[in-house]
Amino acid sequence: MDLLLPARDGVGLAATLFEPETSNGAALLLNSGTGIPRRFYGAFAQHLALRGFAVLTYDYRGIGDSEAPPSATVEQWGSVDQASMIDHLARLRPGASLGLIGHSFGGQVLGLADNVAKLDAAVLICSQSGHWRHWPAGRRRLRMLALWWFLIPGLTAATGRFPGSWIGTANLPANIARSWARWGRSRHYVCDGRGRPLRPHNDDVSFPIRWVSFIDDTIAPFGAVEALRCYYPTAAVERLHLAPADLGVESIGHFGFFRKSMPRGAWDDLAGWFEGRLLAARHSRGASVAAELNKARLELRDRSRQTGPRAQPEVSPACPHHTL
């Protein structure tokens, strides 16, 4: 079901809700990679719906079918768009345990959402720090250096947008491209306008994370992925660095995990991981609610005992002596 959902600041965000025929009580939000339209993830999301999950995909502002205010930045993708979609998913699937799938950029910005603590688990696929120094020395590092310092600023100034498809990356609106390049030039990567680190809610990312990368991914090399791990110091991270053969394919790279050609066993493994974590979170939440209700019941009982009928004291005559 295609939707147009308002972000907190009123910007219209295009979204698609994949609903299961029989719900397993869990709902997943899918954060896209940089500039990737939500429809790229359609087959993957539909497969998860067959496993009982409700799945919400969406386009960041300026991407796909969403509105594109000229002042949009990548910070807003995380702090406004992502946070708004967490709210919408909780509203659309009340009572569900919530999980998140972050692809590349989509896993970099969890800590920008002020409501990220609503989530119970996450899977990050190919999510990395984009700072150029985390790439292997040589041509690949020089390419990232050129991207942030020369290609994005130069091409954006020349064309009024960033024609990323010319060099094998995403097409982006001008201001979004400039803010993304600012991140890539900073050793903190996710940073504010002055290059200072932005980690407002990262400590709230205290749920289980399965973090997956692939040895043939040149966009998210091992060192860059490892550099992002310290962004979520309170999360329980299960880290997997896999070869394509581990999933039964010849290549995966940065995008292959979500393509229609990916063996469904890989998607089923991800679904099974979420089922275990989100079911446990649901039971834990139910136990906590039951404990709180029992505590309230006991407090009410004790209070009623304390405020029950009181024995009336005997009234002595004003004069203690017997009178005739």
What SS3 class is residue 99?
strand
pLDDT of residue 318: 39
99 bridge partner residues = 28, 121
pLDDT of residue 62: 98
Task: Please check whether residue 155 lies inside any domain of the structure.
Answer: no
Q: Which residue has the higher pLDDT, 255 or 303?
A: 255
State the angle between helix axes of 174-185 and 152-159 in degrees (0 to 180), rounded to the nearest 10: 160
Task: Please check whether residue 320 lies inside any domain of the structure.
Answer: no
Task: Please check whether residue 314 lies inside any domain of the structure.
Answer: no
Rounded Cα distance, 7 and 216, in Å: 36
Rounded Cα distance, 249 and 216, in Å: 12
What SS3 class is residue 264?
helix
**CB-based contacts of 7: which residues, under 8 Å, 6+ apart?**
13, 61, 80, 81, 84
pLDDT of residue 167: 84
- CATH number of the domain bearing residue 216: 3.40.50.1820
Nearest C-alpha neighbor of 119 from the set 98, 89, 90, 91: 98
Report, as an integer, the average pLDDT of 230-240. Answer: 97
Give the pLDDT band (50/70/90) at residue 320. Answer: very low
Could you read off the pLDDT of 243-269 as tens digits, one per residue?
Answer: 999 999 999 999 999 999 999 999 999
Identify the residue whose tokens are 């749920």.
Answer: 207
Task: Show the domain range for 35.
Answer: 2-138+188-287
R_g (Cα) of the chain, nearest Å: 26
Task: Please check whether residue 201 lies inside any domain of the structure.
Answer: yes
pLDDT of residue 170: 87
Give the pLDDT band (50/70/90) at residue 283. Answer: low
What are the tokens at 85?
């979609």
**CB-based contacts of 271: which residues, under 8 Å, 6+ apart?**
47, 48, 51, 53
Number of residues assigned to the chain: 324
Report, as an integer, the average pLDDT of 289-311. Answer: 62
Lowest mean pLDDT among 78-82, 276-280, 291-295: 291-295
Give the number of C-alpha atoms closer than 13 A to the C-alpha of residue 102, restricted to the C-beta side: 25
Nearest C-alpha neighbor of 129 from the set 186, 203, 207, 45: 186
pLDDT of residue 288: 54
Report how far Cα 18 is from the mean position of its chain's Cα atoms: 17
Task: Please check whether residue 193 lies inside any domain of the structure.
Answer: yes
Annotate 68-107 with b (16+ C-beta within 10 A) or e (fewer). bbeebbbbbbbbbbbbbbbbbbbebbeebbbbbbbbbbbb
Task: Please check whether residue 301 lies inside any domain of the structure.
Answer: no
pLDDT of residue 252: 98
pLDDT of residue 67: 98
Could you read off the pLDDT of 79-130 as tens digits, one per residue?
Answer: 999 999 999 999 999 999 999 999 999 999 999 999 999 999 999 999 999 9
Task: Please check whether residue 172 lies inside any domain of the structure.
Answer: no
Based on the structure, what is the number of domains in the chain?
1
pTM of the full predicted structure?
Answer: 0.87
Task: Please check whether residue 159 lies inside any domain of the structure.
Answer: no
Could you read off the pLDDT of 9-26 as tens digits, one per residue?
Answer: 999 999 999 999 999 999
Query: What is the DSSP secondary-structure string of 211-232?
Result: EEEETT-SSS-HHHHHHHHTT-
- Please check whether residue 29 is in contact with residue 101, taking contact to mean a CB–CB distance below 8 angstroms: yes
Backbone angles phi, psi at 209, to 5 degrees: -130, 130
pLDDT of residue 53: 98
